[in-house]
Structure formats: C-alpha cells, structure tokens
Amino acid sequence: MATLKMQNVTKQFGRNVIAVRDFNLEVKEQEFLVLLGPSGCGKTTAMRMVAGLEEVTTGKIFIGDRDVTDLPPRKRNVSMIFQNYAVWPHMTVYDNIAFALKLKNLPAEEIDRKVKEAAGLAKIEMLLDRLPAQLSGGQQQRVAVSRAIAVNPDIFLMDEPLSNLDAKLRVSMRTELKAIHEKAGSTTVFVTHDQSEAMSMADRIVIMKDGEVIQVGSPDDVYHRSRSIFVADFIGTPPTNFMEVDVRKEGEGIHLVNSHLNLLLEPALAKHLNTYSKDKIILGVRPENMLLVSEDEAALSASCLVSEPQGSHQVVAIQLDDSIIKVIAPASPTILPGTAVHMSFKQETLRFFDPDTTLAIND
C-alpha cells in the first residue's frame, strides 16, 4: 500500500493533442479515488502514465516516496485492470492469477496460498480450474480483479472495469468491488465516465474535462457544492436545472426574477450576492430540491410537459419558455401533461453561477 502523487503532469500526443494538462493529484493511502469525466477527457491517459505504459511529457509521478517517473512498468508495483479484463484465454483461472506470482519466482506453496486468498476475496474459489471461455462476463471480471490483487500492488488502477457488464451486474459488481477494497485496503484509482458509479464508490472524486482537473471532493462535495455549471450538470440524474435569472435588489431583499419565477431570497443566501455586481446569474437547483406547493406559496409556476413514473417517485418535466426543467415529485397523484405545476425551492440548496465564468458564486 502506498500514496500516489502526480505533480504537474502533462501528456502531449504529436503536435496538437494535449490529453492531460498540468495534472496534480494526491491519492491517500488506502483511498478509493475515482477519476470521472466525459469521453476523451484524458482519464485513460492519466492512468497509463501512472502504470508506466505511457511516458509523461512533463511532470513527475511518485508512489510513496519513490519517484517512478522514469521507471518501467514492472518496477512500479502497480496493477492495472482494463475495460476488456484481458484475462488470458488459454490459461485456467488459477494460472491466470498465479502467472505474475510465478514470474516473481515465489515458492509454490506461497503462490498457492496467494492465489486462493485473492480468489476468495473475489468469490471465485470454485472456478479455479475453468478456462475464461467457460465464465460469464462478471466472473471474468472477478478473475481480472483477483489477478491484480494477488501481486499485492502498491497502487491498484482500474480503467472502466465494469463497462462490459449488463446494467444489473454492473450495479452489483460496484458493491463487490467496494467490499473487496474494504478488505484488501489497496490504494485504488478507478476510472469511469458514469457519474452514479463514481458517486456510489468513491472516497473522493476527481472531475476532469479536456485533460484538466475541474473539481476534487467527496461525493457529497461535488454533488451539493458543485463549483461550476459543468460539474452541477455532469453529476446527478436528472442533472441540476439551470435558469437564467435577473438579480433585483429591492430595499433590504434580493429577488431572483424571470418570466416564470419570482423568488425572494432568504438572508443567508442573499448575502452571497451582496458583493456581486452583475445583474444576472444562472440559478442551479437539483430536481429533488423543488417542492410542489399550492399556487399562493409558489415561487415558480409552469405547465407539465410529461411525467415519468419511477415507482418510488415521478420525474416531472416542465416547460419553461425554450428549456425544460425536471422535478422529482412523490409517486402519486400522477401529474398529467398540461396541468399547472406550482413549485418552491429548498433555498439552502440553491447554487448561483456567474453566467460569464460559469463558476459558482456561493461556495
């Protein structure tokens, strides 16, 4: 087990592509850190540099106190699992797990013990004699995990390891991987572009965009205290609703106003706008933080476009001029298309964004 530090790491491919730009990251011992971002934002490249499969263009990488920037992969003591598992088809599960241990010339009894221990963690003890072709996708995934754990790596890297699994298995493997991490205690960097996977597994999430780190924080932080419109939009399903609103200072109070909305801010929130000099902000509100209320209590009224039943609740889509916002409402009564919906906000959850910088005003 060890810490991982990436210091001002940049990776440029050819002349024009900067895949990772001035990347700084510290992963704590035994932490489960998730790199999250849209396709092409540089997640895999960042991982491959840690594993030594890709050279850095500039910057340094440390594992514990060791500067590994120029070390070949086999000297880094890092295990990496890829999206396609890459289990060797011609070897039994046992031999797949034992392979790297044999290369280390460990005594046979020790190899046997480590193989069984790693297989036990991933619950595949009963599959050790099978070939990968005789396993389901989820089972192959477990073989890849066992194989990576067996060598007792300092750092455990996983690049979208669940993306080949069907939706249901993905969700149950999340839980299993997390449980394995709890037991093995390995310092782990896990890559995904699935925000709900990131939220459910991470100690901390690193949100990336265009090769850069945009925000680092606990799942709670990035969800409730998104520092930019990009993060507020990327995290959560349905995502944050955004509305452009005028900021009107009237007497002591501050109102947020647009053609559907007139909201008098509570003092605790209004204070964030005291020193804000522009007359517009982008208001961000999560679908579960809008409440259906009676007409006279409403800050926002508009008409229901459609409602999507989800069993435990319904997601109500509401048309506001040329945009649609979504509200999570109790499952019944079903809200019919065309009916007027009256809403208020849980004010303490509101986010204010500067329309020019797209950054949060209230931190």
Ligand X SMILES: Nc1ncnc2c1ncn2[C@@H]1O[C@H](COP(=O)(O)OP(=O)(O)OP(=O)(O)O)[C@@H](O)[C@H]1O
Binding-site size for ligand X (CB under 6 A) equals: 12
How far from 37 is each of 105, 210, 234, CA to CA, in Å? 40, 9, 8
Distance in Å, CB of 156 to ligand X, minimum = 18
DSSP SS3 for 285:
strand
The amino acid occupying position 204 is R
DSSP 151-170: T--SEEEEESTTTTS-HHHH
Measure CA 263 to chain center. 32
- Among ligand X, Mg ion, none, the one that 150 touches (CB under a kind-dependent 5 to 8 A) is none
Q: Smaller CB distance to ligand X: residue 53 or 320?
A: 53
Q: Which residue is nearest to Mg ion (CB)?
A: 44
Choose which of 7, 12, 22, 40 interacts with ligand X (CB under 6 A).
40
Does residue 56 interact with ligand X by CB under 6 A? no
Question: Which 162-201 positions form the footprint of ligand X (CB under 6 A)?
Answer: 193
Stretch of 12-20, 182-190, 270-278, 339-347 contacting ligand X, by CB under 6 A: 12-20
Question: Which 323-362 positions form the footprint of ligand X (CB under 6 A)?
Answer: none
In 3D space, the residue among 36, 47, 111 whose CA is nearest the CA of residue 73 turns out to be: 47
Distance in Å, CB of 82 to ligand X, minimum = 11
Does residue 17 interact with ligand X by CB under 6 A? yes
The amino acid occupying position 182 is E
Q: Smaller CB distance to Mg ion: residue 234 or 352?
A: 234
Does residue 9 interact with ligand X by CB under 6 A? no
Q: What is the DSSP letter of 289?
A: G
Distance in Å, CB of 124 to Mg ion, minimum = 26
Dist. CA 102–CA 95, nearest whole Å:
9
- Among Mg ion, ligand X, none, the one that 79 touches (CB under a kind-dependent 5 to 8 A) is none
Dist. CA 112–CA 310, nearest whole Å:
48
Does residue 287 interact with ligand X by CB under 6 A? no
DSSP 192-242: ES-HHHHHHH-SEEEEEETTEEEEEE-HHHHHHS-SBHHHHHHSSSS--EE
Dist. CA 64–CA 50, nearest whole Å:
13
Q: Smaller CB distance to ligand X: residue 37 or 287?
A: 37
Orientation angle between helical segments 167-184 and 137-150, nearest 10 degrees: 20
Q: Smaller CB distance to ligand X: residue 112 or 210?
A: 210
Question: Which 197-236 positions form the footprint of ligand X (CB under 6 A)?
Answer: none
Q: Report yes or no: 289 and 346 within 8 Å, Cβ to Cβ.
A: yes
Distance in Å, CB of 205 to Mg ion, minimum = 16
Q: Smaller CB distance to ligand X: residue 40 or 73?
A: 40
Distance in Å, CB of 160 to Mg ion, minimum = 6
Stretch of 43-51, 181-189, 224-232, 336-344 contacting ligand X, by CB under 6 A: 43-51
Residues lying near Mg ion in the complex (CB under 5 A):
44
Residues in contact with ligand X by CB under 6 A are: 13, 17, 19, 37, 39-45, 193
